[in-house]
Amino acid sequence: MDALYRVMDAVLPFECFRLSFMKNALLAMLLLTPLLALLGTMAVNRRMAFFSDALGHSALAGVGIGMLLGVQNELISMIVFGIIWAVLISRINRTGGESADTIISVFSSTGIAVGLLILSHNGSFSRYSSLLAGDVLAVAPGDLIWLSLALPVGVLLWALLYNKLLLTAVNPALAQSRGIGTKWVEYAFVSLVAIAVMLSIRWVGVLLINALLILPAAAARNIARTSRQHALLSVLLGLLCGVGGLVAAYYLNTGVGAAVVLCAAVCYAVTLPLRRFVR
């Protein structure tokens, strides 16, 4: 890490990145935002904008249930519970008994209620309140190793699933006629989103994870002509908002997650009027 820090000192013009914790936060943003942006493109295309919100809320339930079961590693608890929650949402949604937004709202409310019920026992919720807003400035070098592994694996899985997911979203009957197991493809996608959300939740926070996943992809969709442009622009906007929000938060002395999300919201507002020139 020392060699990487020296390189960053040599190439970065901002005084704020002379600090080690800001270097770690910058590296985390460079690793987190591209993966979230790519997954966000498919979530937007499949009209699953609130799906990640339900998963984010389930993180509290995952931590609480893991605590009851004696699981020491909170991340493992969140990932396992998040995958189960994501598959359950997808499975019930496929039955068609209720609208997707109703199902997601039920799971979102239930997840956060279960988490609060368990974690607030005997007034101990303050220990876990950091999960709500996150703190990317608390990223440690060991965390960066896991994130550096998660990014290429996540991008590879996204690339393998993308065409099948796109066809399934546009024409499920055609996808099935071509031998695509639409159910399992969807389960794989929602599990991948669950893992990405749970990996990010400690630094982005339950309250902001949905916005960070969706806003760059939604802004990119406003100005993209093709699916390839959508993915590329989403990644670029995600990186821009991640780095820009981090720098702005440092100089304004505000929360990083909120600053990143507001940068993404500004990008969406700027690109929204441009839709009519692109379509």
Contact at 8 Å (CB) between 248 and 47?
A: no
Domains of the chain: 2-205 (1.10.3470.10)
DSSP code string of 187-254:
HHHHHHHHHHHHHHHHHH-TTTHHHHHHHHHHHHHHH-SSHHHHHHHHHHHHHHHHHHHHHHHHHHT-
When mean pLDDT is compared over 49-58, 79-88, 201-210, the highest value belongs to 79-88
pLDDT at 265: 92
Sign of CA dihedral 111, 201, 89, 264: positive
Phi-psi region of 51 (alpha: psi -120 to 50; beta: other; left: phi over 0): alpha
Task: Give the mean model confidence (pLDDT) for residues 193-214.
Answer: 81
Evaluate if residue 146 carries a pLDDT over 70. yes
Residue 71: Cβ within 10 Å count: 17
pLDDT in tens, 66-114: 888 888 777 888 888 889 988 888 888 777 666 777 888 888 888 888 8
